[in-house]
Amino acid sequence: MEKEAIDYGFYLAKGIDFSSYKENFEKELNGSDENPYKQYLPMNWQRLSRIERTIQLNADLLAAIAAKAGKQNWLVISEHWCGDAAQIVPVLAALAQASAGKINLKLVYRDQNLELMDAHLTNGGRSIPKLLILNESNELQSTWGPRPVEAQDLVVQLKNNPETAANYAEELHKWYAYDKQVKIQEELLKLMKF
């Protein structure tokens, strides 16, 4: 399905706020051991919680958001089991909270919204998180994700090397720890200037 055919307003109305996302995450974390992704949840919960507590927002990005005319809807496709989402979603939530109402952040789950996800593939894959920036009329303005360009390049490099392919996630999360959410904010700043 082409992107123009997607009813973004439908998904925005279906979306949940960050507080509900965290509540659902905690329920899933403490839920059934039969969850096939259960092993990823504790570390992702720690990542999300740490970043939420320690995030340092880029002053230039905050100024660009404040200077932007009108409001934006940020629709994020995510899942709790996704390591990248644990690193990125709390940054997006902090920016929305700091925006003084200019950014309306809503999250939808990838596996429950495959039509939306399949309209926003990354190199043919359902990579998340995916940020869809919509105007006040819910028209798609731009997209970002699933991770900063530098991290994406690292993942491609690691996955293409047989010696590092199996453990690429460990190196990726070291990159995130070193970067401290700087690159994502730099890339979002460029998007805010369109």
Tell me, yes or no, whether 194 lies in a domain. Answer: no
Compute the distance between CA of residue 70 and CA of residue 75 in angstroms, rounded to an integer: 16
How much is the pLDDT for 4?
52
How much is the pLDDT for 5?
80
Range of the domain at 125: 3-147
Tell me, yes or no, whether 176 lies in a domain. Answer: no
Q: Which long-range contacts (CB under 8 A, 24 or more apart) does 1-6 make?
A: 1/115, 1/118, 1/119, 2/119, 3/119, 3/120, 3/140, 5/119, 6/115, 6/116, 6/119, 6/140
The domain that contains 25 carries what CATH number? 3.40.30.10
Of 130, 9, 155, 26, nearest in space to 73 by CA? 9
pLDDT string in tens for the chain (194-residue length): 344 589 999 999 999 999 999 999 999 999 877 888 899 999 999 999 999 999 999 999 999 999 988 999 999 999 999 999 999 999 999 999 999 999 999 999 999 999 999 999 999 999 999 999 999 999 999 999 999 999 999 999 999 999 999 999 999 999 999 999 999 999 999 988 76
Tell me, yes or no, whether 30 lies in a domain. Answer: yes
Omega into 36 within 30° of 0, i.e. cis? Answer: no
How much is the pLDDT for 118?
97
How much is the pLDDT for 194?
61
Compute the distance between CA of residue 14 and CA of residue 107 in angstroms, rounded to an integer: 9
Tell me, yes or no, whether 158 lies in a domain. Answer: no
pTM for the whole thing?
A: 0.94
Q: Give the total number of structural domains in the chain.
A: 1
Of 144, 176, 173, 171, nearest in space to 157 by CA? 171
Tell me, yes or no, whether 160 lies in a domain. Answer: no
Tell me, yes or no, whether 184 lies in a domain. Answer: no
Tell me, yes or no, whether 119 lies in a domain. Answer: yes
Tell me, yes or no, whether 163 lies in a domain. Answer: no
